[in-house]
Amino acid sequence: MSAKMSNGEFKNDVAMRGKGVYGANSGQQHSAMLSALPLITKSVADSWGKRPYTDRPFTIAEYGCSDGKNSVEPIAAALRGTADAKHVQLFLSDQPSNDFAATSKNVQKIGEDGEKDGISIFTAMVPRSFYKQVLAPNSADMGFSLMSIHYVDKMPPLREGEFPFDTSRKETRRQTWEKDFCSFLRLRSSELVDGSSLVLSQLSEPPEGGDNFAVVGQALGAGAQDMIKDNLLSHDLFKHFELPTWYPEPERMRELVASVGGWAVKDLFQQEIEHPASVELKKRRAEKEDPEDLEWYAGKVIDWLAAVVSGYFLKTVAITAGDMNEEQREKLLQEWISRSKKRFLADSKDAKVTSWLVFARLQKC
């Protein structure tokens, strides 16, 4: 849940789980990132040597870096395309509440490797939402944002009697995301130089309908319901708990890019990404069916999604659970995760966990 603003809106100021938790549980994000690497390589090939500025470093911007665990390989792919560059500048942006100490630790090796290759790499971290201006005008040669832009900036408050899962609320999320996505593109257009590229990936609507990672979401919902029954969580939880996200269809994304103008769609495709733990479980069970593997699997997939949504859960608990300190809220979070693992093991066992993503490479005209 996002923090309430004075004008009645809800601002999404939540970052991914810090202290290494998100990085340790972002295996599916890593798999998705690998699919974006060829687009990163193409972007650098298009922009390197064609930029209008020769008196500054080649500049790469990431919008939504989280703890940097999945930033290293995209940046390394970009640097391979600028092998003869002498100076490279990196801007890594995320919410002010992001764990930038973890980011710094994870990306430190990039600068060290650059020095070995004779490249001076200057890294800057920008604690600012990418729904604001992040860089000075015409200052970046390429940008990328992976698994981040399905989040919106602000959500209107729920209407009287409305719930987050109502059709009317889903329509509100759609409209809000489309407005924010167009704003994101306009902001990046001012920051990137002409001819540069922007690589994007985000969760998208599955081609045959349904929900992404449905079985994991159901287990988390069931775990919360168990806690409500035991009076550990307020009944108001489900009235307020809402992920401020929207997963568009690929063609709708193309239409929105065209409506903004100033961008050419060079690549756009949809791909199903299976959670690596799901892939690993199939391998294990092909050799031997061990009940401990199912427990391992439940732990992996629940910890993965919990690392993403924990901040929203804690915000909602703070709103609905009355006078409760941070330690007590954290204890509830861990109880929720534990119960959700048990529910997944009981209800889903070895069910496949998968997500559909849309990947795009846009070039600034």
At residue 172, φ and ψ (nearest 5 deg) are -65, -45
CATH architecture of 3-364: 3-Layer(aba) Sandwich (3.40)
Strand order in the sheet with 10-11: 3-4, 10-11, 154-155
Q: Which residues contact 175 (CB under 8 A, 6 or more apart)?
A: none
The structure tokens 């981040």 sit at 148
Q: Which residues of the chain have pLDDT under 50?
A: 1-8
The structure tokens 């995760």 sit at 337
Picking from 132, 130, 339, 159, the residue whose alpha carbon sits closest to that of residue 242 is: 159
Q: 111, 123 in Cβ contact below 8 A?
A: yes
pLDDT digits (tens, 9 = 90+) for 282-334: 999 998 889 899 999 999 999 999 999 999 999 888 888 778 888 999 999 99
Name the E strands within the chain: 3-4, 10-11, 58-63, 87-94, 120-127, 140-146, 154-155, 192-203, 263-274, 354-364
pLDDT digits (tens, 9 = 90+) for 17-61: 888 888 888 999 999 999 999 999 999 988 776 665 566 788 999
Burial status of residue 232 (CB atoms within 10 A of its CB: 0-12, 13-18, 19 or more): middle
pLDDT of 7 reads: 43
Q: 168, 158 in Cβ contact below 8 A?
A: no
Sequence length of the chain is 365
pLDDT of 2 reads: 38
Q: 206, 278 in Cβ contact below 8 A?
A: no
Enumerate the β-bridge partners of residue 180: none
Structure tokens at 57: 């470093």
pLDDT of 3 reads: 39
pLDDT of 319 reads: 81
pLDDT of 54 reads: 60
Domain extents in the chain? 3-364
pLDDT of 51 reads: 61
Structure tokens at 129: 């939402």
pLDDT of 53 reads: 55
At residue 150, φ and ψ (nearest 5 deg) are -80, -5
Report the C-alpha gap between 241 and 214 in whole angstroms. Answer: 17
Radius of gyration in angstroms for the set of CA atoms belonging to the chain, rounded to a whole number: 21
